[in-house]
Chains A and B, each alone.
Chain A
Amino acid sequence: MNKLNFLSPDKNNLYAYLYSGISLLSLSILIVFLNSFFSLDLTSFLPGTISYFLPLIIGFIGLHLIRIEYSGIKFLDIINKNINTNNFNALLSLLIIFAVIKSLPPLLSWFIIDANFAGDSKDACSGSGACWAYIKTWFNRFMYGMYPNAEQWRINLSFIALAFLGGVGFFATEKFKKYLTLYYVVVYPVIAFLFIFFFISGGPIFFDFSYGIIAAVISIVIGFFIPSKFKMYYFLIIPITIYILLKYVFFYEELIELGKIQAFEWVETGAWGGLSLTFIVSFFCLIFCFPVGLFLSLGRRSDLPIIKYISIGFIEFWRGVPLITVLFMSSVMFPMFLPEDMFIDKLVRVIIAISLFEAAYVAEVIRGGLQALPRGQYDAAKSLGMGYWKMHIFVILPQALKLVIPGIANTFLALVKDTPLIFVVGLLEIVGMLNLAKTNPEWLGFAMEGYVFASIVFFIICYAMSKYSYNLEQKYKTER
């Protein structure tokens, strides 16, 4: 038996060190545990300061004793390698372990043990914990804002339908895969708009844009039968002709009459709110900002000076100002720029403002991807006789966009996190509704519960988005 040297533990007396070290460590954790969970102070017989630091000192000695390199015990080696490499690390590890043990009981009691779950008035919440009854009572408002209760199925239906239509891409067979981009960039936004307009807003069956939509559908259907040689001229001329014919010749009077019929009760956008509004705003901004940003990034890298400098000016302007001033502009300054009889809905103005704002960021992200591509890709595409658009659509953009998936995902995340700012123009999504509920005289004093609830909701949404983008990034990662 070798002599025990407690200052430098070694392998010779492995078990002597191990047992003494582990017992000291467990003792220190036990002291903190009992202290925080059962308010038992085992060390009260010692003077104040020493009693306070005792667990730390004991634990530190314990960790020092079990720090034996290549002990041959797998578990011990893992612990030593990960949390116990040297004195400093041991101290930090202990501090973190103690902090977790210390903070668990108050958190648990606030969230669950002392919290009130049942009840529908303030009186039900008497405990010192959270008042989840508050969230339960206001849940409907946090989700749908001031939208009439009886009509909320319309929002649910629209969201379910849109989620289903959006998920179509996952089930598309190889044959239809090539149309997916077209579907997501053109068809899906139009469908989404119609859903929002007819169902959630309760708009009339016929409205101004309908002429355009009908004209576009008719001309696309006919377009399938036109030889590709004439297609370009066809799509330049025919849709406009059909539009004019529809609007001023064929159905003029009849459609105006149709425009007065509403299928559902009209709910003005001021009454929309809650989490559903967060979804609507971020969804549309996301759809619009991407193509705008794409064109801006192409414009910024263009050889044509006027287009280039207009793009640069546009991008730098939006990137230089805070979103809140942009929203101020859309609410107080923009109406001054319109003819007096022209009125654009608040929600639409906000969506346009946020889309343009985020488009500038998307443009910069995409530009990074375009710059990262080697020149050879451009030269190769040109040498095959491709023009500007063909080169970009088939060669450059597929590669560049793949490179910038994380950046675009970050921009979209920022967009979702920016939506609460629309309170500036008086639209109340979930955070705005919280602030409204907080000032309700019957429910004063529950700010904490509300913000914790909203934080959890946003955390789940944003965390899921960032994890999904990480998966996409891994999936499309190609060796270069």
Chain B
Amino acid sequence: MNFKKILPQLLTLVVVIIVFGFFSYNAQVNMENRGITFGYGFLTQESSFDVQFSLIEYDGSHSYFRAYLVGLLNTILVSVIGIIFATIIGVIVGIARLSSNYLIERTAAIYVEFFRNIPLLLQIFFWYFAALRALPLPEKAEPMFGVFFLTIKGFFVPAFVWNNLDIFIYSVIAAIVAIVFVRLYAKKKQENQGIQTPVLLISIGLLIILPLLSFLLGGVDASIQIPVIEQLSKTSFTYKGGLKLPPELISLALALSLYTATFIAECVRAGVQGVSKGQKEAAASIGLTPNQVLKLVVMPQALRIIIPPTTNQYLNLTKNSSLAAAIAYPDLVLVFAGTALMQTGRAIEIVSITMLTYLTLSITISIFMNWYNKKIAIKEK
């Protein structure tokens, strides 16, 4: 260690400490002046505000912490929906971009150029304030397939009514665990004896049989509840029974998935293009069938290129779901950093919790991705 190396580090450290010290000193003085004490005790207090849409039971008598959970769950809900649809659209469009058909390739390219060059917030506003407002009122809605009702007040879909739901969930979990074991066993067998096991068929079978058993033996029972129109007052109608997806959720999920799909499409295209032609030819020349070439040679290599940027897009989607605050979808930012902050005035605590939540979410995913990347990376000698 010499002087030249220590000095800049020391200077940086001193600057950082001074800045932090300055901020925290001011914060202390400011809070004293306003008579607030720093602390997270308020989380257990009664929140006394309502949230329009929540996955868990919630009303004004619950605590702020439960309000936080409501927001977090809503954020996760819209992110998961968005990720699923973005992946489906993105993969289709990405493959369409590689099509030899000029019209298909152009259509996909126009879609990508169009949706990625318009701000996401604008797209959310467009769907929420312009497109979904053009939908019919509940009493005039045409049923889709007789059971779905798309109205200005939201999308009404049939709901399942369950008995002994927990047993059903356990059976699904058991099926997934069994599939993991089957896969491991099949891989070992493939490596040791070179015999391929029909993993996909077994997996599908397990996924069907175990839940089915829970119906037959476990006393699980499900019936479908179809939404029925109901008159609230002379002019106001709504649907009773079934599940209601609020228009905020629909427009947010729509905008998020259409926007993110353009980026995923580009990742997919780059990934498939990144596998060199020689690989396919070499695989074909040792006698693999086209299906095997795709499954054993092209896809593993393409996925290696596709997955890291795609996870990044998933992370972006999750962070972008915070734009929900703009159209009053009760996500983490709106419920917690909006309403709860207004009520308690605890800016530092609430903003820091919100930021930490997102930070934990993205750091967890990126640690997992780094691990996965290392696992699938080419092991060079």
A and B form one complex: yes
Tell whether, in the assembled complex, residue A328 and residue B121 are in contact, meaning their CB atoms are under 8 Å apart.
no
Interface size class of B (residues with CB under 8 A): 35 or more
Tell whether, in the assembled complex, residue A431 and residue B125 are in contact, meaning their CB atoms are under 8 Å apart.
yes
Tell whether, in the assembled complex, residue B26 and residue A93 are in contact, meaning their CB atoms are under 8 Å apart.
no
A221 at the interface (CB under 8 A from B): no
Which residues of A have CB within 8 Å of B203? none
Give 1 or 0 for each of A455-470: 1 = CB within 8 Å of chain B CB. 1001100110010000
B12 at the interface (CB under 8 A from A): yes
Q: Which of A4-12, A117-125, A165-173, A337-345 contacts B (4 or more CB under 8 A)?
A: A337-345
Tell whether, in the assembled complex, residue B101 and residue A447 are in contact, meaning their CB atoms are under 8 Å apart.
no
A329 at the interface (CB under 8 A from B): yes
A96 at the interface (CB under 8 A from B): yes
Tell whether, in the assembled complex, residue A83 and residue B119 are in contact, meaning their CB atoms are under 8 Å apart.
no
Tell whether, in the assembled complex, residue A85 and residue B100 are in contact, meaning their CB atoms are under 8 Å apart.
yes
**Out of A303, A304, A324, which one reaches B323, CB within 8 Å?**
A324
Complex-state Cα separation, A434 to B326, whole angstroms: 13
Residue of B nearest to A90 (CB): B101
Which residues of A have CB within 8 Å of B23? 337
Complex-state Cα separation, A303 to B121, whole angstroms: 41
Residue of A nearest to B322 (CB): A322
Which residues of B have CB within 8 Å of A324? 322-323, 325, 333
**Out of A93, A305, A338, A421, which one reaches B101, CB within 8 Å?**
A93
Tell whether, in the assembled complex, residue B130 and residue A96 are in contact, meaning their CB atoms are under 8 Å apart.
no
Query: 8 Å CB contacts to A: which residues of B128-167?
Result: 129-131, 133
Tell whether, in the assembled complex, residue A420 and residue B119 are in contact, meaning their CB atoms are under 8 Å apart.
yes
Which residues of A have CB within 8 Å of B22? 337
B293 at the interface (CB under 8 A from A): no
Tell whether, in the assembled complex, residue A83 and residue B103 are in contact, meaning their CB atoms are under 8 Å apart.
yes
Complex-state Cα separation, A303 to B9, whole angstroms: 10
B84 at the interface (CB under 8 A from A): no
Tell whether, in the assembled complex, residue B9 and residue A93 are in contact, meaning their CB atoms are under 8 Å apart.
no
Which residues of B have CB within 8 Å of A466? 117
Q: Which of A66-74, A204-212, A261-269, A312-320 contacts B (4 or more CB under 8 A)?
A: A312-320
Complex-state Cα separation, A306 to B129, whole angstroms: 49
B378 at the interface (CB under 8 A from A): no
Minimum CB–CB distance for A19 against chain B, Å: 24
Minimum CB–CB distance for A99 against chain B, Å: 9
**Out of A321, A336, A420, A459, which one reaches B355, CB within 8 Å?**
A321
Give 1 or 0 for each of A164-199: 1 = CB within 8 Å of chain B CB. 000000000000000000000000000000000000
Given contacts A96-B107, A336-B26, is CB(A325)–CB(B129) below 8 Å?
no
Tell whether, in the assembled complex, residue A340 and residue B363 are in contact, meaning their CB atoms are under 8 Å apart.
no
Give 1 or 0 for each of B319-358: 1 = CB within 8 Å of chain A CB. 1101101100000010001000100000110011011001
A114 at the interface (CB under 8 A from B): no
Query: 8 Å CB contacts to A: which residues of B79-135?
Result: 99-104, 107, 113-114, 116-123, 125-126, 129-131, 133
Tell whether, in the assembled complex, residue B103 and residue A455 are in contact, meaning their CB atoms are under 8 Å apart.
no
Tell whether, in the assembled complex, residue B130 and residue A448 are in contact, meaning their CB atoms are under 8 Å apart.
yes
Given contacts A417-B120, A462-B118, is CB(A332)–CB(B347) below 8 Å?
yes
Given contacts A451-B125, A451-B130, is CB(A82)–CB(B101) below 8 Å?
yes
Complex-state Cα separation, A339 to B21, whole angstroms: 12
Complex-state Cα separation, A83 to B320, whole angstroms: 38
A214 at the interface (CB under 8 A from B): no
Tell whether, in the assembled complex, residue B101 and residue A89 are in contact, meaning their CB atoms are under 8 Å apart.
yes
Which residues of A have CB within 8 Å of B24? 337
Taking A336-B348, A431-B121, A448-B130 as known contacts, 10 extra A-B pairs with beta carbons closer than 8 A to each other, sorted by chain A number, are: A82-B101, A310-B16, A322-B322, A322-B333, A325-B333, A339-B26, A413-B117, A431-B119, A431-B122, A455-B126
The contact sample of 30 A-B pairs, CB cut-off 8 A, is: A83-B102, A89-B99, A89-B104, A92-B104, A304-B8, A304-B9, A306-B9, A306-B12, A307-B12, A316-B363, A319-B362, A320-B359, A320-B362, A321-B362, A324-B322, A325-B354, A328-B354, A332-B347, A333-B348, A336-B31, A337-B26, A420-B119, A420-B122, A431-B119, A431-B122, A447-B129, A447-B130, A451-B129, A458-B118, A462-B116
Nearest 10 pairs of A and B residues by beta carbon: A462-B117, A322-B319, A82-B102, A320-B359, A337-B23, A306-B9, A322-B322, A417-B119, A448-B130, A320-B362
